[in-house]
Chain A
Amino acid sequence: MAMSETLSYLRRGRGVRRHSWRYTVMAWLPLIVLLIAWELTTRSGLVTPFMLPPLSAVFGRIMEDAASGDLLTTIGTTLWRALMGFGISAVAGIALGILISQYKAVRWFFDPIISVGFPMPKIAFLPIMILWLGLFDVSKITMIAFNAIFPVVTATIAGIEGVEKQIIWSAQNLGAGRKRLMWDVLLPAALPQILTGLQVALPIALIVGILTEMAMGGYGVGATMQTASRMADSPGVFAGIIEIAIVGYVLVQAMAFIRRRLLMWHPEALDATAA
């Protein structure tokens, strides 16, 4: 539940738009202070550049990589895997959620699997995945989708089952059949919850993507960091961390943007535009 609280906090954080630039600066200030402290610590000589390279050196490295084109391929590779896995988990997760909510037999089959599978650290399947699917994109993407699908399925089921009974009745009363009911009523009504599930799944996809790259290699931010670490190239490791942070932030913001777009009707969006 802590996860969804964080998300609703993020969602509300979108109210930032209403505030002035001062608020924006204030919101970012802690991060800026942290980065300055980083730079100052490394310059003070308290730590060796090997343990903690100066921020400026790390940014220098990112710039170099950007100039040579390595940055684009590295981030592009990670993003492609994470987003593919996420996309598969989204489509399959919503479809499975619909089936479970509609058919008793499907529910009977998947209920225990999901109950056990959701809290399980699925990254433990990594060696098996390597055995079965090899070291390349297929096994990485499968691993990502396998991890990210759980919050999507559970959110879809909860969303569909939480639809107010009388809204369903009124649709049936106006002539909606079973199929219509799903597309016209159950899914739109469940959309806020489904999107929350996707918002949980997205960072999971990124995390698992990086982890699989660290474990299996094959380009991408995770693999590049692992290589840098083996070669005692600490600016390279920290550059990876900063890159992941930025990519993750952009993805989460993009997702929040999509949410606002899709839920124009929802009080959460209407309130924000009203002010």
Chain B
Amino acid sequence: MQAQINSQVSSQIVVENLNHMYRPARGQPVLAVDNVSLEVRPREFLALLGPSGCGKSTLLYLMGGFLPVEKGRILIGGKPVTGPGPDRGVVFQHFALFPWKTVRANVLYGLERAGLPKNERLKRAQAYIDMVGLQGFEDSYPSQLSGGMRQRTAIARTLAIDPDILLMDEPFGALDAQTRSLMQSELLAIWRRSPKTVIFVTHDVQEACYLAERVAVMSARPGRIKAIVETKFDRSDPHLFKQPAFIDKVDEIWALVRNEAMLAQRLEAH
């Protein structure tokens, strides 16, 4: 019981008045995240939406501990983030696979670092490779795979370490509709089986409404949280996408996102 409470608390994410400024060696500094506050409950599935370039990836990198928190705070389980760690599994937007390792070796890497016994590692890696439908490609190198296959390798690699927190940056962005829908079900199944706190960045409003319990919409750059919308639906309903309540919710969020996307375009035009 005690352990369970601990793991619940340790997977809570609190972001307070977070700012992030990129200072490129040449050119103007860019304010990418502007005064973002956000509280993600333990084991909550939160989707993050927002126009391109609004700072979604930056926010995830900050939570992952890859970028220094200069202004504001991020608390994971009550403790400030000090650096990267396997408690927060990240699926990167551009996959970030190890090109010199095969699919299997990529998936095995985190398990090796976790110090699992060899048999266990191999079994677990295979299970996740099968789950993302890459059986038969275990010995292929990333450069021999399609974009969607690389993305699925990255998903398997992160899921395999079974982190308490999942930070996923457009994890299904390179997948076809069919594979995408399969991966959505797999992700939900995993989330139900061993509940994790998930932050899921996507541009697909329907996907966000379907997967998440709450959807946070970010404004155009500099990114702020513009609105947070509850999206609790019965996901086992096979006709969910046709339910009026669901369609209304998608429309509502669409309107919010579209507005910001138009603003972002105007910003770019300047």
Contact = CB atoms under 8 A, between A and B. Distances in A.
A169 interface: yes
B144 interface: yes
Given A167-B98, A188-B100, A172 B66 contact: yes
A191 B92 contact: no
B109 interface: yes
Given A164-B96, A167-B96, A191-B100, A173 B143 contact: no
A141 to B, nearest CB: 33
B151 to A, nearest CB: 13
Given A169-B84, A170-B90, A173-B84, A180 B113 contact: yes
B201 to A, nearest CB: 15
A247 interface: no
Contacts of A169: 61, 64, 66, 84, 90, 92, 96
Contacts, number: 73
A267 B96 contact: no
A151 B122 CA distance: 40
Nearest to A180: B113
Interface in A239-260: none
A189 interface: yes
Interface residues of B, number: 30
Interface on chain B toward A: helix, strand, loop, or mixed SS?
loop
Nearest to B163: A173
Contacts of B157: 170, 174
B121 interface: no
B72 interface: no
A185 interface: yes
Nearest to A192: B100
A270 interface: yes
Contacts of A167: 96-98
Contact of A166 (B85, B94, B109, B114): B94
B161 interface: yes
B86 A267 contact: no
Interface string A145-176: 00000000000000000001011011111111
A171 B144 contact: no
A70 interface: no
Interface of A: 164, 166-167, 169-176, 180, 184-185, 188-189, 191, 264-267, 270
17 contacts: A166-B96, A167-B96, A169-B64, A169-B90, A170-B98, A170-B154, A171-B98, A173-B66, A173-B88, A173-B89, A175-B86, A175-B113, A175-B114, A189-B98, A189-B99, A265-B102, A270-B141
**Nearest 3 Cβ contacts at the A-B interface:** A175-B113, A174-B110, A166-B96
